[in-house]
Amino acid sequence: MHAPDFTSDLDLLDDEVEKLLDLAAEMKQTPTRYAQALPGKSIALLFEKPSLRTRLTFELAIKQLGGEAVAVDGPIGGREPLKDVARNLDRWVNGIVARTFSQTTVEDLARWSAVPVINALSDRYHPCQALADLLTIREAFGAERGRTLAYTGDGNNVAHSLMLTACRLGMNVRVATPPDYAPSADIAERAQAAARTNGAELLLTASPEEAVRGADVVYTDVWASMGQEAEAETRRRHFQPYQVTAALLKQAAPGAIFLHCLPAHRGEEVTDEVIESTQSRVFDQAENRLHTQKALLLMLLG
């Protein structure tokens, strides 16, 4: 590993992402081989947000590698300065996994901690999710390079991480959002540069039909993330045309798959019919969070 932390997708080099996905696939096939890969290692889980998949998959990943997980819920750096929290934790544990409201919190933890810090979700990135998504795509199609991923909805942290990771692996990415909800311009620029370097194309559009037409993967996420509840009704009006329906999915390539990072608001960003269809791989994605996070932990702490 060239960097000790995983605060954003770009903390892994392109070839490291490839190696991580290969390792995750191997660990999925032969879990017992890695049952004592991190003996005696303790990892702190800091969670400012409620969580099902992230919390349980990290706890299980650590335990299945022979390590121990300790969890703390609530604001990070509320009762005492964050730099003090980080320097307490690094005396006790071998790594820190943080699910935070702000990307700044993750970066500050990494700045002050002497042990690796993993971004388990922030307002800007969801890098662990993107790794699981790419493993799921690889399992469905054999390889991701040259395939096309269409994302429709909010240009949020999930969209950011998908763009940065998929474009670096040679996938074409099309992101359809309402104009006021487009991905951050600086992240789009970095993803565009990665796409050019790796022979892929990145398209930002306001048209879900343009994004989905002929795509191999159709992806969406909730319209209002945690902390945006007050905007939910306004967002619902803006995003209704971006709902993934059976009719929209039919415009994708034959054999296309549907992905969603979950939890899903059925009847909002996706219909129940789509998420329960044979094209849906959402529970494969959820499972793959466990395997890619095991590979990430082993690469960082092994």
Looking up tokens 């009704």 gives: 233
Cα–Cα distance measured from residue 178 to residue 208, given in angstroms and rounded to the nearest whole number: 9
Cα–Cα distance measured from residue 109 to residue 6, given in angstroms and rounded to the nearest whole number: 11
The residues, ordered by sequence, that sit 6+ positions from 163 with a Cβ below 8 Å of its Cβ are: 151, 173, 175, 183, 187, 188, 191, 202
Q: Which residues of 256-284 are buried (b: 16+ CB within 10 A; e: fewer)?
A: bbbbbbbebeeebbbbeebbeeebbbbeb
What percent helix, strand, coil does the chain show, rounded to 5?
Answer: 50, 15, 35
Looking up tokens 């933890």 gives: 109
226: left (phi over 0), alpha (psi -120 to 50) or beta: beta
Catalytic sites, residue numbers: 99, 126, 129, 221, 261, 289
| Cα Rg of the chain, angstroms | 19
Q: Is the peptide bond before 263 cis (omega within 30 degrees of 0)?
A: yes
94, two tokens: 């071998």
Q: At residue 160, what are phi and psi to the nearest 5 degrees?
A: -60, -50
Nearest to 226 by CA among 179, 186, 250, 261: 261
